[in-house]
Amino acid sequence: MHGLNELRKQGRMSWIEGEHGWGAAPEDVVDALLRDGFEECTRETTTSRRDLRPAGGVWQGVNTVTGSVASAILVSRPSRTRAIVFIAIDGTAFRDHAFSSVERDPYKDDGGEG
């Protein structure tokens, strides 16, 4: 994910541990995924705020060479310029592993079903 990693290096995308997502401008993330070879197949935005700015949205793309699928869920924050973006590649969350090196299974940890 060269494009996404470049956004991180440039400081235009940063991990928000408390939100378990990325702080970034949605178009920066979409542009990075397009540069990484994903072709857009779905883009939807929702507008439910009084100022008519998008409250969030979903973007999905497919890499026709590899067959990989990228998804991004975008959640705007009214008082901030950056949205919270949740990114998945082939169903696996794209996370900052410095903060989340161990993925927990909520059904096996903390007394859940096993």
pLDDT in tens, 81-99: 789 999 999 999 998 765 4
Do 47 and 40 touch, CB atoms closer than 8 A? Answer: no
pLDDT at 86: 96
pLDDT at 75: 92
Confidence of residue 33 (pLDDT cuts 50, 70, 90): very high
Which comes out higher in pLDDT, residue 63 or 113? Answer: 63
Q: Which two tokens stand for residue 19?
A: 């939100």
| 3-class DSSP assignment, residue 31 | helix
Q: Which two tokens stand for residue 87?
A: 């990114």
Is residue 50 pLDDT above 60, yes or no? yes
Mean pLDDT within 46-53: 66
Rounded CA separation 70/2 (Å): 14
Task: Note the pTM of the prediction, 2 decimals.
Answer: 0.77
Is residue 103 pLDDT above 70, yes or no? no
